[in-house]
Structure formats: C-alpha cells, structure tokens
Structure 1
Amino acid sequence: MLKVGIIGGGGYTAGELIRILQYHPEVEISFVQSASQAGKYVHDTHDDLIGECDLKFSAELSTDVDALFLCMGHGQSPAFMAQNNIPDKVAVIDLGNDYRLEESWVYGLPELNRAAIQQSKRIANPGCFATAIQLGLLPLAQEGLLGEDVHINAITGSTGAGQAPSPNTHFSWRASNLSVYKAFNHQHLAEIRRSLVQAQTNFVGDLNFIPLRGDFTRGIFATLYLECDLNETELHALYSQTYATEPFTHVTTANPHLKQVVNTNKCLVHVEKHGNKAFIISAIDNLTKGASGQAVQNLNLIFGLPEKTGLNLKSLAF
C-alpha cells in the first residue's frame, strides 16, 4: 500500500482528494494536515464523509510517506517546500499554481507529459481551465496546425473559486446569474501557452480567453474556435487518433453536455467544422480531471499503477 499525506486538508480539492483516495485500492491516507482544524474529525469539515472517514486533522507533517499532496492556497507551496526537508524519494504533487512554469517540476498533464511524469517525484498539477483548454487544442498543436488566433469561451462552477466565502460565490449572487471575469488575462494562460509551445514550437498566436462564472457548483464547459484547413472528417480522425489510447480523454461525435463528466476524471472532446473554422468543445469536472482526480492519475503514473486505479467514478447523469 502506498502511504500518502495531504497538506492543507480543509478546502474543496483536499476534500475531493480524500473522497477518491478513501476507495483507492493501493493507497492508505496516513494523515490530513490542517493547522487551523487540527484535532477535528475530517468529516466535521467534509461532512459527506461521515461514516466513511474516521481520520482527524493533524497539525504535524510526516515525511514517512510515499507521496504528499499539497492542497494549500496559491502562493504557499514554495514556502512549505523551503521550510520542510522533504526527501527526494517522497513524491510531491502540488495542486496549486506555484510550480506550473518551473523547469525543475514536471507539468502533470498526462496526455502531454506521461513519460516525464513516470520518471519524476515533483509534479505540478495543471489548472482546471488549463486542462480543459489544452485537451481541446493539443491534437492540433501536435500537428503544427495552430494558427494566429485561438478564441476561447469557458464557464466554470462555483467550486472553482475555492471554499473561502466571497461575494461572487454567495448563493444569492451566484444563483440565476452569469458574469465574465479576468477576460484576456486569466492566470492559466501562461501554462496553456507553455504546453502549446511545447507541442508546436512555432506557435505565437493570441489566446483570446473569456472565462465565465456559472450558476452551478461543478464542471467546466469550454468552446474554442480557430481557422483550420482540415475538413470535419480529417479533424475527427486527428482527434480520435490522438486520444485513442487515453484512459480518460474521449472524443465524441455527439454534442456533449456537462453532466456526462461531473464527478468523473473524464474529458469529453467534440469537434466540428464551420466554414474555415474548427469548432471544439471540451468538458471536464473542475474538481476531478481539473484538480484532484488528475492528481491521483499522476500518483498512479509515478508509482507504476494502471492510470484508472481508484478513478472509476460514475457521472451524475441526472
């Protein structure tokens, strides 16, 4: 059994990670650290886990584990790594954004960096928007088909803003509402561009990204379009071939919807051709494939387990 620890156990991504790892057949959760909640039962905070998880939050860090998941707020991981002597043999998977552009950490998008992930013990888990958008564009990038501009519109659920209360996550504001935020300058753009340039070194085009807040809790639904010379048959063949052996990224000829992916580690991708433009839909759950599920997928890769281990999760459907 792999022994794992979770640092920063009180938030949404940590809660989702605990839910997945509780039923991972090859994992034992050694501790869940939270300085602010030490001594409390985990199910007091993540109350759906009552009757399933008897762990208490710990104030202490232990390095007597095979892997650590960092679920702290953005900006906190470098200080944690500097203040704690984490042995090189302990795998560290950071779910924050601090190491996504660091050369010394492997960017943990399996569909792009699987071989490197398998050889590393320092993984920067991708952002949620970044995951959906990259998976929508990677087949084109790998064939050198990205042109000057890519236009992206993507909507996310309220859990993407984290568990700390804020005016734009309050139910009275969020319900029956819709708004744009961080248009053209979202923090995930840098990691998206880095991956696209890794796949297509001559890509210098603009990523015109308009993120939206949705009035639902989970999921990301991204629509993208760009000029492309391939016809629809060629587009579908390219995407199907690229993702044919991927365990979680699936190309569908049917128009996808969000409930197909919520509560799963799947990404559904759909492609069409309209005039001279390729139109792409990419849908994921921001808390699973966009965060904790992908982190477990990376854990499986690091330790040589089948990627789907512990991740056979059922969508909500209704």
Structure 2
Amino acid sequence: MIQAGIAGGAGYTAGELIRILVNHPHVELNFVYSTSNAGNLLSDVHQDLLGSTEIRFSDTINTEVDVLFLCLGHGTSKRFLEENHFTEKTVIIDLSNDFRLKADTEFQGREFIYGLTELNRDKIKQACSIANPGCFATAIQLALLPLAENKLISDAVHITGVTGATGAGTSLSDTTHYTWRDNNFSYYKAFTHQHLGEIYQTLSSLQRNFDQKVHFLPHRGNFSRGIFVTAYTKYDGSLEDAKALYSDFYKDAPFTFVSEKELHLKQVVNTNKCFLHVHKEDGMLLITSIIDNLTKGASGQAVENMNLIFGLPQTEGLNLKANFF
C-alpha cells in the first residue's frame, strides 16, 4: 500500500483528495496535517466522510511517507518544505502554484515536473516531484493543446471561463458569500489571471516562437462546482479537420474526450473527465472545454500523477460518476 500524507487538510481541494484516497485500492492515508483542526475527526470538517474513515487531523508529520500532497495556500508550499524535510524517496505533489513556472521548478535538489498528464505523461512516470496544474489552466490548455502541437495558433485566442464557488476556496469574502453569489454573475481578474503564465509556458513549449495573445476573461458562476470554458481563434482548416485533429491528439488520454454534441457542466461534475467540443463559424474555431474544478482541475489530476509515478493504471481510484440528475 502507498503511504500518503496530506498537508493542509481542511479546504475544498483537500476534502476532495481525501474522498478519493480513502477509496483508492492501493493507498493508505497515513496522516492529514492541519494545525487548526488537530485532533478532530476528518468527518467533523468534511462531513460526508462520516462512516468512511475514523482518521483524525494531525499536527505532526511523517516525513517518510511514500507520497505527500500539498494542499496549502499559494505561496506557502516552499515555506512548508523548508520547515519540514522529507526523505528523497517521498514523492511530492504540490497543488499550489509555487512550482509551475520554469523559474521555480528547481527546489531543494528536486525538479518539479508540470503535471498535465495529457502533455507530460512520460516525464511524469519518471518524476519524484509534481507541480499540479491550475484548474482554469487545465481546462484552457486541454482546449488548445492540439492546435499548438500542430503549430496552428496563428492569431489571438479569446477565452471566456466560468467557475463555480468552490474555486475561490473555503474562506469567505464579499464575492463568495451566499447572498452575494446566489442569482448573480460577475467577472474578475480581467486578462490578468494567475494561470496565464503556465498557459503561455505550455503553448510556447509546443509551438516554437509562439507570440500570439491569449485574452482570458474569467467569471464567477452561481453554482458550486465546475468550469465551463469557451475559446476561439482563427482557423483555416475545415471542421472535419479540426475534429480529426482533436480526436487523434486525445486518442490515448483516458479522461479527455471529444464530443460531437454541445456540452453542459453536469456531464463532468464530480468526475475526473474533460469533455471537449469543436465548432467552426466564419473562419473561427470555437472550442468548448468542461471539467470539475476540484477533480480534473485539482485533486483528481493529482491522483492521476500519483498513479503514473507508482506504476498504477492512470484511472485507478478515479472512475467517478457524474451527478447528472
């Protein structure tokens, strides 16, 4: 059994990770670290876990676990690793943005591999440290990878993305409070979202001398889970060419699928899947990409990475059913 630890166990991402790991056939949850909840049952915070586990939050850490998942706030993973020294055999999977960009991949003698499995599967299999992609970055990159791989992004890309309330974390703010969010809709961080750095980095790695603008406008939706992305750019090929391009690129991806039909969020919420749909109109290719921000956009993708590193099927523990009705 893979001995797994989680640091930062009280948030939405950690809760989703715990749910996956306690049901994973090859994993034993060794500890869930949370100073604010030490001694409390996991089910006291993540209340749906009642009856699934009797594990309690811990304020101590086992530095010899096989895999450590960092579910800490952005900017704090480095400090945590500086204060807690894990053995060289411990695989570290960071779900924050601390190690995603090339300038940050080298740390304490480790090289953090960018954990987008559809892009870096072979590198991930050989890795000991993973920088898990951001949720919006995952949905957007999966929408654009086939175009970049074939050097077909020749003009600006325009993207609109809508995320559920869980994307903002558990801490309350004016824009996450129920009375503000309910029956409401707004944009934020117009054209400056923090995930743009990793998106540009990936596109540039696939399409040499990539110099097109990526205009991304994120929105807050009045629902709990899911990301709905639409991206469009100029495209000279036919719709049939585009469909073939996307189907071929993802033919071996166990969680990413190209749909002939238009998409809606309920198809993927509570799953580790990404669904894509392509449409062409007036020389513009429109790509729709949908994921669950907490699974494929965070914890599920982290478990994908763990599975690949430990030689397990990529889908192990991740065959989750959508809450379709």
- Report the 3-state secondary structure (helix = DSSP H, G, I; strand = E; otherwise coil) of the residue aligned with 1:58: coil
1:51 deviates by 1.0
Amino acid at match of 1:168: T
- Report the 3-state secondary structure (helix = DSSP H, G, I; strand = E; otherwise coil) of the residue aligned with 1:30: strand
Distance 2:93 2:188 in 1: 28
Of 228, 231, 241 in structure 2, the residue corresponding to residue 224 of structure 1 is 231
Superposed CA offset, 1:23-49 (max 9, x none)? 100000001000111011110000111
Of 142, 145, 166 in structure 2, the residue corresponding to residue 138 of structure 1 is 145
- Report the 3-state secondary structure (helix = DSSP H, G, I; strand = E; otherwise coil) of the residue aligned with 2:175: helix
Partner of residue 188, structure 1: 195
1:64 deviates by 2.4
Partner of residue 11, structure 2: 11
Distance 1:95 1:171 in 2: 26
Greater displacement, 79-88 / 269-278? 79-88
Query: Is residue 272 of structure 1 aligned with residue 279 of structure 2?
Result: yes
1:165 deviates by 1.1
Distance 2:10 2:303 in 1: 18
Superposed CA offset, 1:43-90 (max 9, x none)? 000011111111000001112211000001111001011112112210
1:110 deviates by 0.4
Distance 2:277 2:194 in 1: 25
Query: Is residue 85 of structure 1 aligned with residue 95 of structure 2?
Result: no
TM-score by length of 2: 0.97
CA contact (8 A) 2:64 2:87 kept: no
Distance 2:154 2:311 in 1: 37
Query: Is residue 296 of structure 1 aligned with residue 308 of structure 2?
Result: no
Distance 2:181 2:154 in 1: 36
Write out aligned runs for 1:1-318 (5 A).
1-101=1-101, 102-103=104-105, 104-318=111-325
Distance 1:205 1:59 in 2: 47
The count of aligned residue pairs is: 318
Greater displacement, 163-172 / 260-269? 163-172
Superposed CA offset, 1:175-232 (max 9, x none)? 1100000000000000011011111122111010000000000000000000011110
Distance 2:74 2:266 in 1: 28
Distance 2:78 2:155 in 1: 35
TM-score by length of 1: 0.99
Amino acid at match of 2:14: A
The unaligned stretches of length 5 or more in structure 1 are none
1:148 deviates by 2.7
Distance 2:298 2:188 in 1: 20
CA RMSD in angstroms, aligned pairs only: 0.7
Amino acid at match of 2:211: V
Amino acid at match of 1:129: F
CA contact (8 A) 2:161 2:230 kept: yes
Distance 2:317 2:304 in 1: 9
The unaligned stretches of length 5 or more in structure 2 are 106-110
Partner of residue 108, structure 2: none
Amino acid at match of 1:35: T
- Report the 3-state secondary structure (helix = DSSP H, G, I; strand = E; otherwise coil) of the residue aligned with 1:167: coil
Amino acid at match of 2:234: E
Greater displacement, 209-218 / 85-94? 85-94
Distance 1:271 1:230 in 2: 12
Amino acid at match of 1:68: L
Distance 2:81 2:31 in 1: 18
CA contact (8 A) 2:64 2:86 kept: no
Distance 2:17 2:32 in 1: 11
* Structure 1 runs, 4 residues or longer, greater than 4 Å off: none
CA contact (8 A) 2:159 2:230 kept: yes
1:147 deviates by 1.5
